Amino acid sequence: MKKLIISAAAIIALSIGANAGGKLVEPVSTPVTPIVQDEWSGPYVGLSLGYISGKATATFHTISTYTPPPGGGLVVGPGAGTPVEYSNLKLKPDGFIGGIFAGINKKFQNDWLIGVEVAANYTNANDRKHLIINGDTLENTLKLKQQYDLALYARVGKVIGEEKKFMPYLLGGVTLARLKGELSVNNKIYTDKDSVSGWTIGAGLEYKINKKWHIRAQYRYSKYNDAKMKFTTSDVIYNVKFKNYKTHMFQIGVSYHFN
């Protein structure tokens, strides 16, 4: 009992001496760095809509198939095999475009992002012009319509802002378009189609609404190979080449991210 009382008194004395000789030492707290979750990486799907404007030059190589009646008689127009010279036509299809897109992103620690995306779009972009021969405008017309657009491209962007919600980006890749020609001659319609490949480049701005939903605004320029079509009427074979077809595409979209 006596030893216990002496030990307790020693502890109290030491405690009083420490408080009198200086301040109490408080434990040092280490600041905790918050972990920022990467909500940009991973796969996603989305919908888009917008406006498309195109331009092409239609050149003609035409051959008359008219054969004079046997034994002579009245001959109307050039004979079979005679070329007919038509003026080149400038066609500017434009209209609505809309479709779906899907891709996958990878964001790095320095906030740069790379990704791959595929897009499939339907469009009703079209234009119709009257044929011109020897400077004279005919009643006959030629129509060019783009039916769809497919594209595969890479995206490179930079996530910016205090809350990392914005991403401006550039894109580049390959594209495929389906074109339909429609020739109207003497109130009869002749059609043909061709698929043309090309390249595409563009830019956009994406905004993260929350962890799952993003919105975007995007522009794409595409340049295609020449499209070749053939229209055979009762009197003339029209071999038409749509040269230097190019498009400007403006779209807005919304996407769902599986992160």
pLDDT digits (tens, 9 = 90+) for 107-152: 999 999 999 999 999 999 999 999 998 888 989 999 999 999 999 9
Tell me the C-alpha distance between 12 and 127, whole Å: 99
Closest CA to 228 of 194, 190, 197, 199: 194
Higher per-residue confidence, 191 vs 30: 191
pLDDT score of 1 more than 50: no
pLDDT score of 14 more than 90: no
Higher per-residue confidence, 184 vs 68: 184
* This prediction's pTM: 0.80
Tell me the C-alpha distance between 134 and 153, whole Å: 44
Please give the pLDDT value at position 28: 59
Please give the pLDDT value at position 65: 75
Fold for 44-257, please state it.
Answer: Porin (2.40.160)
- CB distance 95 to 123 below 8 Å: yes
Tell me the C-alpha distance between 170 and 53, whole Å: 20
Q: Give CA separation, 52 vs 96, 145, 147, 175, 194, in Å.
A: 6, 12, 12, 14, 19
